[in-house]
Homo-oligomer: A and B are copies of this chain.
Amino acid sequence: MKRSVRPLTLRDVSEASGVSEMTVSRVLRNRGDVSDATREKVLAASKRLGYVPNKIAGALASQRVNLVAVIIPSMKNMVFPEVLSGVTSVLEDSGLQPVVGITDYLPEKEEKVLYEMLSWRPSGVIIAGLEHSDNARAILAASGIPVVEIMDVDGEPVDTAVGISHRAAGRKMGEAIVAAGHKRIAFLGTKMPLDHRARKRFEGFTQALAKAGIEMADQEFYSGGSALAKGREMTKAVLERTPDLDFIYYSNDMIGAGGLLYCLEAGLNVPGQIGLAGFNGVELLQGLPKMLATMDACRAEIGRKAAEIILARSADEAVKFDEKIELTPRIAPGDTMR
């Protein structure tokens, strides 16, 4: 039942309704004054034919594109879908549409995706992180498009940044753990050359321990695979290697959850014998046997804020925002921290 090869144009609707193309265009966009009679005719003809406007032509003519590029490292980490949720909730019914690009944490891919998206001339760019290749920073800066870098504020934004300080987050958690009297502390996380935010948390954490005169008792890093399973394995390995640990700080909640499950099954008293903490505040934690200590990364809030900035900027080029908008995450001690 494949019909017409040629998609319908404004002209088809114009002819079918006996109204000029320009007026048809006005009706379909709700612009300018059009008499009710004409409007009816146009709408009827348009619907009857099954006309779908060509936004490509529209965008070229009006020099306006209702797209917002959202560039994130991954979809597999629940954190990013949640940021995206925040973005979407604000953009919904604003006339702007988010379009997502994935970088897999690879700078080359980021550059490619960015170039690809900018070539569609979006109304704004929301991009994760502050670390980009020189080239990426250059084309962003030269694009003349509002850019919001999200999730992180430890660095120099191209334009505007919305996020938390991961260094401070790591430090804060370190201080809390030390304050609770722990001495034999380990860190488990992802391999970090690519994940700058995890790295910054690690740095802040180490720093806080150092300040208290405590040296990291053990550490281990992974990449790939089921995070829950990895958390389990790594926890086992590290506890066998360093049995006197009294706290493990995980770079994300999923491996933390795996660690928690392992400790409980191994009959360890959590947090009596060993305390645990993760990072992100993912929803999943609510279903675990114990609520893992964590720190909310303000994901939805970041997404919302970023979208609001783009929205305001695309409505009025002159609006000014602070260069950095820093949100402050709190520790949620749950049941795994004393």
Question: Using Cβ atoms and an 8 Å threshold, which residues of chain B touch A4?
Answer: 142, 144
A144 with B3: CB separation less than 8 A: yes
User: Looking at the complex, which of A17-25, A50-58, A186-194, A327-335 is the stretch in contact with chain B?
Assistant: A50-58
Shortest Cβ gap from A112 to chain B (Å):
10
Query: In the complex the two chains form, what is the Cα distance from A115 to B55 in whole Å?
Result: 11
Query: In the complex the two chains form, what is the Cα distance from A99 to B55 in whole Å?
Result: 15
A242 lies within 8 A of chain B by Cβ: no
Tell me the residues in window 196-235 of chain A with beta carbons closer than 8 Å to chain B beta carbons: 226-232
**Interchain CB contact (< 8 A) of A2 among B52, B81, B119, B144:** B144
B-contact bits for A106-118, CB 8 A (1 contact / 0 none): 0000000001101
Question: Using Cβ atoms and an 8 Å threshold, which residues of chain B touch A155?
Answer: none
Tell me the residues in window 118-174 of chain A with beta carbons closer than 8 Å to chain B beta carbons: 118-121, 138-139, 141-144
B227 with A287: CB separation less than 8 A: yes
Q: A3-B144, A7-B143, A115-B52 given as contacts; is B289 within 8 A of A261 (CB)? A: yes
Interface of A is mostly: helix
Tell me the residues in window 67-104 of chain A with beta carbons closer than 8 Å to chain B beta carbons: 75-76, 78, 81-82, 84-85, 88, 97, 99-100, 102
A7 with B65: CB separation less than 8 A: no
A265 lies within 8 A of chain B by Cβ: yes
A56 with B52: CB separation less than 8 A: no
Beyond A56-B120, A226-B283, A229-B286, list 7 extra A-B contacts (CB 8 Å).
A52-B139, A53-B119, A55-B120, A88-B102, A99-B100, A229-B287, A258-B287
Residue positions of A touching B, CB distance < 8 A = 1-5, 7, 50, 52-57, 59-60, 65, 75-76, 78, 81-82, 84-85, 88, 97, 99-100, 102, 115-116, 118-121, 138-139, 141-144, 226-232, 257-258, 261, 265, 283-284, 286-289
Task: List 30 interface pairs A-B (beta carbons < 8 Å), by A numbering.
Answer: A2-B144, A3-B142, A3-B144, A4-B142, A5-B144, A50-B139, A52-B115, A52-B118, A54-B119, A54-B121, A55-B120, A55-B121, A56-B59, A56-B120, A75-B75, A75-B84, A76-B82, A76-B85, A78-B78, A99-B99, A226-B284, A226-B286, A226-B287, A227-B287, A229-B287, A231-B287, A232-B287, A261-B287, A261-B289, A265-B289
